[in-house]
Amino acid sequence: MYLLDTDTIIYSLKNESRMNENFKLHMKDPKAISVITYGELIYGAEKSKRRHENLAKIHRIAEIFPVIDISRSIMDTFGALKADLGNNGLVVDDFDLIIGATAITTGYCVVTNNQKHFKKITGLKVVNWLT
C-alpha cells in the first residue's frame, strides 16, 4: 500500500518515464494520497497558467486515488512524531510530517523523491520511484 507524495504525482503528470514505469509496475497495488497532497496539488493548479486544465487533472486524480482525510489518530501520531523530532533537534515541515503520520497510522509506505525530509521520521517506510 502506497501513499503518493505530491512530487510523485507531479513527476507522473510531467510524464517522467521512470516514475510512469513504476506506476505500471505497481498498477495493482493499493495507492492513495493524503488530503495534504490534494491541497498542495490544488494550490499548484490554482496558480498555474492553465488553471482550468490543471484543476481538472487534480480532480481526476482524486477520483482515481482515495484521498485520506486527517483524523484524530493521524494527528496523535503527528504530535508524537513532532515532539520526538524536536527532542532530537530535527525539524520536518508540518505538511510532510502530516503525510508521514498518515502513512504510519494507515500502514502505508510513502512514495517520494523528497527522501531528505521523510527519512528523518522514525518508523516511516519510504520508497523513491525515480531511482
Q: Coil, strand or helix: which one is 95? A: helix
Note the pLDDT of residue 131: 85
Cell 495534504 -> residue: 36
Beta strand 67-68 with 109-111 is unpaired
Write down the pTM of the prediction. Answer: 0.93
Right CATH for 2-127 from 3.20.20.60, 3.40.50.720, 2.40.50.100, 3.40.50.1010: 3.40.50.1010
Print pLDDT tens along the chain (131 aa).
999 999 999 999 999 999 999 999 999 999 999 999 999 999 999 999 999 999 999 999 999 999 999 999 999 999 999 999 999 999 999 999 999 999 999 999 999 999 888 999 999 999 999 98
pLDDT at residue 116, rounded to an integer: 87
11-14: which pairs have CB atoms within 8 A and are 24 or more residues apart? 11/113, 11/130, 13/57
Q: Give one DSSP letter per residue of 3-54, joined into a string.
A: EE-HHHHHHHHTT-HHHHHHHHHTTTS-EEEEHHHHHHHHHHHHTSTTHHHH
